[in-house]
């Protein structure tokens, strides 16, 4: 055990962190630490609660402290895009940065691995492609926007957007229509009946709202909205079965939570930071906890 005491007094060779608000629930530190251990890397990964107003200052401080790379989560992704020197075409397209690399020359590269993580998670769930899927997206925040554009680019047949604030759904619809003029895009009224009706006629339902983060939260849609043959993806990963997944599965639909997406987007972040291949199995074990 002596060497662990010793480590606290030495700065690790590489330091990483996730920034968000809130961030205490994040499983990213466990996931990345498990990968570092499996690969024998001298590295650490922390979680910092940072507000949008403080992001610029915090990035400067972490860069001065010689961090290698960061993940950004809710609500910092769009703001981070404004604070990098270079953003990949994908980050620009998705409208946010979730992976930031501090380069040796002092510049900052911003990338986005959310869409990649989502598509890889679907592939793991036995859905290698989304061509022709009628898709309902619940929640049009930063993750919702990234997944709406990802689905559109993956060739879905039709996209329906639902959000409590309609203006936000309209903004995402505008971004999708601009990039994919031939795709049929609908925006729903903020009405439970309309959402249920849209769910009934969808092949893929993607849930990105925070409803369900609390174990006692009421599900956004109940089992009448679902039927066998549908696929329900919930970006929430803090519970194996979130409220909406329980309802969907009771109706015979297939559901899966956000753990796969988190794992794959984290693995891709690691590749961007280090140029190395991660130990995905170690990351899966770490994230499950």
Q: What CATH number is associated with residue 11?
A: 3.40.50.10860
Beta-carbon contacts of 82 under 8 Å, excluding residues fewer than 6 positions away, are none
Q: What is the mean pLDDT of the chain?
A: 94
**Which of 23, 179, 200, 199 has the alpha carbon at shortest distance from 93?**
179
Residues 205 and 123 in one domain: yes
Per 3-state DSSP, the chain is made up of helix, strand and coil in percentages (nearest 5) of 45, 20, 40
Q: Residue 289: pLDDT band by 50, 70, 90 thresholds?
A: confident
pLDDT in tens, 212-266: 988 789 999 999 999 999 999 999 988 889 999 999 999 999 999 999 999 999 9
Residues 129 and 191 in one domain: yes
Residues 126 and 238 in one domain: yes
Query: Does residue 134 have a pLDDT over 90?
Result: yes
| Alpha-carbon span 140 to 148, nearest angstrom | 8
Q: How many domains does the chain have?
A: 2
Interhelix angle 280-288/28-39, nearest 10 degrees: 140
Q: Residue 50: pLDDT band by 50, 70, 90 thresholds?
A: very high
Report the relative pairing of strands 43-49 and 254-256 from DSSP bridges. unpaired
Candidate list 27, 32, 77, 79, residue with the active-site label: 77
pLDDT in tens, 172-216: 999 999 999 999 999 999 999 999 999 999 999 999 998 998 878
Q: What CATH number is associated with residue 189?
A: 3.40.50.720
pLDDT cut 90: percent of the chain above it: 88
Range of the domain at 55: 2-112+262-288
**Residue linked to tokens 């986005």:** 112
Instruction: Determine whether 129 is an active site residue.
Output: no
């Amino acid at each position: 055990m002596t060497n662990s005491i010793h480590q606290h007094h030495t700065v690790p060779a590489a330091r990483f962190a996730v920034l968000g608000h809130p961030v205490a629930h994040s499983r990213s530190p466990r996931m990345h630490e498990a990968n570092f251990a499996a690969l024998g890397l001298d590295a650490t990964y922390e979680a910092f609660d940072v507000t949008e107003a403080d992001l610029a200052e915090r990035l400067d401080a972490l860069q001065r402290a010689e961090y290698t790379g960061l993940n950004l989560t809710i609500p910092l992704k769009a703001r981070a895009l404004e604070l990098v020197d270079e953003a990949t075409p994908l980050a620009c397209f998705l409208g946010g940065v979730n992976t930031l690399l501090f380069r040796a020359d002092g510049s900052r590269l911003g990338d986005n691995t959310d869409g990649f993580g989502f598509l890889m998670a679907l592939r793991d769930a036995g859905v290698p492609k989304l061509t022709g899927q009628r898709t309902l997206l619940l929640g049009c925040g930063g993750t919702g926007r990234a997944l709406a554009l990802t689905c559109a680019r993956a060739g879905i047949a039709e996209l329906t957007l639902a959000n409590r604030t309609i203006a936000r759904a309209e903004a995402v619809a505008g971004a999708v229509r601009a990039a994919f003029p031939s795709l049929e895009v609908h925006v729903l009224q903020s009405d439970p009946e309309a959402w249920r009706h849209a769910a009934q006629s969808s092949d893929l339902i993607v849930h990105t709202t925070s409803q369900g983060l609390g174990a006692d939260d009421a599900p956004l849609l109940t089992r009448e909205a679902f039927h066998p043959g549908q696929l329900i993806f919930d970006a929430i990963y803090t519970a194996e079965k979130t409220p909406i997944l329980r309802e969907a599965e009771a109706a015979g639909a297939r559901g899966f939570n956000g753990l796969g997406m988190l794992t794959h987007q984290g693995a891709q972040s690691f590749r961007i930071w280090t140029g190395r291949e991660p130990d995905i199995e170690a990351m899966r074990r770490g994230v499950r906890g």
